Amino acid sequence: MITQSTDELRLDPSGPVLVTGGYGTVGAEIARMVAVDTPVLLTGRSPDRGRALADALGGEARAWDLADPVRFRADVRAVISSVNDPDDRVLRAALSAGVPYVDITRWTSRLQRAAVLAALLRPDSPVLFSSAWMGGVSSLVAAALAADLGGAERVEIAVRWDTADRAGADSVAFMDRLGVDFEVVDDGTRRFASPLTEARTVGIGGTPVRVARIDTPEQFTLPLTLGTTTAATRIGFSSPATTRALLALRSTGFFRWAAGERWTPLRRAVLHSPGDGGTARLRVDVSHAGRGRTATVTDPRGQHHLTAVGAVLGLRRVLGTDGSSAPKGPVFPEQHPAPARAVESLAALGVEFVVDRGSDRGAGPGSDPARGGAAA
Please report the pLDDT score of residue 241 as a whole number: 86
- Quote the pTM value: 0.90
Rounded CA gap, 12 and 316, in Å? 16
Which residue ranges of the chain lie beneath pLDDT 70? 1-5, 166-176, 257-276, 358-376
**pLDDT on residue 59:** 97
The DSSP secondary structure of 74-137, one letter per residue, reads: EEESEEEE-S--TT-HHHHHHHHHT--EEE----HHHHHHHHHHHHHH--SSEEEE--STTTTH
pLDDT tens track for 12-63: 999 999 999 999 999 999 999 999 999 999 999 999 999 999 999 999 999 9
| pLDDT of 248 | 86
* Nearest to 280, CA basis, from 138, 143, 177: 138
Strands 154-161 and 182-186: unpaired
Q: Output the pLDDT for position 277.
A: 73
Q: Letter for the amino acid at 78?
A: A
Predicted pLDDT of residue 131: 94
Packing angle between helix 25-34 and helix 303-319, nearest 10 degrees?
Answer: 50
pLDDT of amino acid 359: 52
Q: Supply the pLDDT for residue 176.
A: 62
